Amino acid sequence: AQTRVLIHLARDDTAQLRQALDDIEGLLKHYRETRQNARVEVVVNGGGLELVRTDTSVFAGRIQRLQREYNNLTFAACQNTIDRLAEDLGTSVQLLPGVITIDSGMAEIMRRQSQGWTYLQV
């Protein structure tokens, strides 16, 4: 059986995001050390999008290192949030390499929960 965890980040708070990344890395290390077949998906929407934008992320290097070290980790950005930024602020959002987009953060969370993923809001 595969362990599947969805982590939701929706606020732009540097201390909170640092703690979340610490927790995510700890989780990934634990799964690797205990040889568990696990997938971790980090969904970002709202203010959480700042984490994965090339122009705003204070953790770009760390995210890229985590992506290199753990092929079972995915960062997924909400397209609705990206579209809203474009409409409201004229902001053209560039995402960090390897970050995927999903139609809607909320829809993804609901889909994953219905597929049996564990949901953690950080």
14-56: per-residue pLDDT in tens?
999 999 999 999 999 999 999 999 999 999 999 999 999 999 9
Q: Which two tokens stand for residue 106?
A: 């909320």
- Does the reported pTM lie above 0.85? yes
| Token output for 105 | 């953060």
Contact between residue 105 and residue 43 where contact means Cβ atoms under 8 Å apart: yes
Q: Which H or E run includes 83?
A: helix 79-89
